[in-house]
Amino acid sequence: MRLTSPFTIELTQAEREVLERLGDSRTAPFAQVQRASVILALAEGMSNAATARAAGRHVDTVRSWRKRFTAERLAALVDRPRPLGRPRLSAEDKLQVIAAATAQPPTADTVWTHRLLSDHLRRSGLAVSASQVGRILACVDLKPHLVRGWLTRPADPEFFTRAADVCALYRTCPANAVVISVDEKTGITARSRKHPGQPGRPGQRTRREFEYIRHGTVSIIAALNVHTGQVLTERIDRNNADTFIGFLRQLNESIPAGTSIHLVIDNGSSHVAKKTKAWLATRPRFNIHHTPKHASWLNQVELFFFTLTRRLLRRGQFAPRDELAAAIDTFVLAYDEHDAKPYRWTYDGSPLKAA
């Protein structure tokens, strides 16, 4: 006696007509067309595995469609209603998430994460997942794990006065004068890699071993002639008034007599020390122009320091620090001979206005 499976499909004439019409349709939803074709194949006696291979679906999917059709018949061709998922958060709930992310964590943690925020809000009575927290914060571009430093300082009433004075010197050199920008660059690390790097080749960047050995630091003081681009540097051991005055003596001797020296400097301790002011007071050829407080970016020698870092220090390897000092001297000599030229300067020191 032949046993009949409880999921054997036997179609009525009306069902077959509906399935054949649906299987040949070019406008019906693809899911319904495919299910109709699968049911017809199963009704012809094809196995689940063979039907799955022909339809390009998993055998478990075909098996599930067979069982559902035997129970629901033609209604099984239509998708079942999908679950609604998590309840949507109200506007007030989202504001509560944002408020928590902008507040100090109540525990010993100093940085909010999505998981910590989720746990904290659950304890407060708001069920929200870590992924939901992430989506809500992303919508308002709020990243509590990131910190950006800034400086709280009172408004400097002399900012634009000093800035305009310095910028005027950059744009136009006074007659029979030179404009010299001076500053120190301290704590330059002499270091070498523990293992040699690998040179670049097509399709692969230069590789550099990340472990390195420190060999001490070097500090320099530099003077930039703003209108020629020429640079003078000197290694220093201490950054104090005596060192600064010694460098000014060198400038005084190297610049022809009768030429006024307009010195652009920031408000560093060695630049505003009583000893420095007393020395400058006896040398009227020096005209001092201080950059505004917390605006050392107005000092053009900082642009040379960036050039020095980018072209020499960033990738250079220096075993003893004397080798680093010698490399800086060699770089400056070559720079003065081949590359020195004035930096382009467009800011005029006036208040910036919105367009």
pLDDT tens, residue by residue, 328-339 = 999 999 999 999
pLDDT tens, residue by residue, 158-180 = 888 999 999 999 999 999 999 99
CA dist 66 and 75 (Å) reads 13
Domain ranges of the chain: 13-77, 91-139, 159-339
pLDDT tens, residue by residue, 190-222 = 998 888 888 888 988 888 888 888 999 999 999
pLDDT tens, residue by residue, 243-291 = 999 999 999 999 999 999 999 999 999 999 999 999 999 999 999 999 9
Local confidence band at 3 (pLDDT 50, 70, 90 cut-offs): very low
Mean pLDDT for 69-93 is: 79
The whole-chain average pLDDT of the chain stands at: 88
pLDDT for position 266: 94
- Compute the residue count for the chain: 355
User: Residue 50: phi, psi to the nearest 5?
Assistant: -65, -40
Look at residue 96 and tell me whether its pLDDT is greater than 80: yes
- Buried/exposed code over 84-116 (b: 16+ C-beta within 10 A; e: otherwise): eeeeebeeebbebbbebbeeebeeeeeebebeb
Look at residue 2 and tell me whether its pLDDT is greater than 60: no
- Cα–Cα distance list, 284 to 257, 276, 288, 291 (Å): 12, 13, 10, 20
Two tokens, residue 57: 């679906």
CA dist 68 and 64 (Å) reads 6
| pTM of structure | 0.64
The CATH code belonging to domain 159-339 is: 3.30.420.10
